[in-house]
Amino acid sequence: MSPIRPIALIAALIALCPSFARAGVLALDSFAYPDGSLSDLNGGSGDWFTRWIGSGFVVSGGEVDGINSLPTNINTVRRHFTNPALTEELFVSFDLRIGNFSPALDDYAGLSMIIGVNNPVLAVGKGAGSNELVVGTGGTVSSGITLQPNTTYHIVAGYDLDQQSQMMWVNPDAADFYNPATGFSSADATNGPVPGLGDVDVIYWDTSRPGYILDNVVLSDTSDGVGIAVVPEPSATALLAFGLTGVFLGRYRRPAVSGDPKEIA
């Protein structure tokens, strides 16, 4: 066998391996429970550390909704997960839908992450007294995206543990989620720095009234895990192209050497 073939194959595998090796869901819950109270349920999969804890929420048709009717009565439910030994990124995604009403006067409604150092609340959802999607410590940075009734929004929150920053994308795809030249720079809203970001281990869901529907919560250490395929970096793409070219060229056999009736592979 020509030496170029194993070298080329190794190069191709090196280019491909990072996207496969890093893709990993840490925990998820699609709320496939019987209709009834969410409290004390323990479904989903992955590194959940506790059941859902709290009150004021029900599962209905595989989704989660609040049951209190007063805008000033905040419902909160939480679930702990095993604090992963992350060094780069954490991604959290969920689906949010509101009913047929204007949310502008309601309090905050959305998903929050709690971190161990100083216990800041990293909010991702509808801002308090606003109808816009926000992100930040207490939900302070607006995306400028307005919630529309009876519309489902797929929201992805990214936590850059190196830069100690928090980002949010709304209904992202690969094209606007990641820029190979500048990294995760196309977020709809960014908050930071947030000291102690690597200690995230609790997830909260808060609403002030029924009609804020939660579904499909996913925590992952890569964007692939939350359903967004990141465009390969140029260096990885070039390495893959080199490897595949070598494999292709290696299919051609060299001409036979004079005096040897066999071809040399």
Q: What is the pLDDT along the chain (265 residues), one digit of tens a residue?
A: 555 455 444 444 444 443 333 457 899 999 999 999 999 999 999 999 899 998 889 999 999 998 865 555 567 889 998 866 666 788 899 999 988 888 887 888 889 887 655 566 788 998 888 889 999 875 579 999 999 999 999 999 988 877 788 889 999 877 766 655 555 557 888 888 877 776 778 888 988 788 899 999 999 888 777 877 655 544 444 444 545 455 455 555 555 545 554 443 4
- Look at residue 144 in the predicted model and tell me its pLDDT: 92
Q: Which residue spans within 161-199 are E strands per DSSP?
A: 165-170, 189-191
Name the class of domain 24-236: mainly beta
Query: What count of Cα atoms within 13 Å lies in the side-chain half-sphere of residue 39?
Result: 11
Distance CA 63, CA 61 (A): 6
**Distance set, CA 208 to CA 125, 202, 205 (Å):** 13, 20, 11
Token pair, residue 36, equals 């009834």
Between the two ends of the chain, the Cα-to-Cα distance in Å is 5
Q: Using the 8-state DSSP alphabet, how is residue 183 labeled? A: B
Q: Is 8 left (phi over 0), alpha (psi -120 to 50) or beta?
A: alpha
**Single pTM value for the model:** 0.76
Place of tokens 């390495």: 239
- Look at residue 134 in the predicted model and tell me its pLDDT: 92
Token pair, residue 171, equals 């209904």
Q: Domain extents for the chain?
A: 24-236
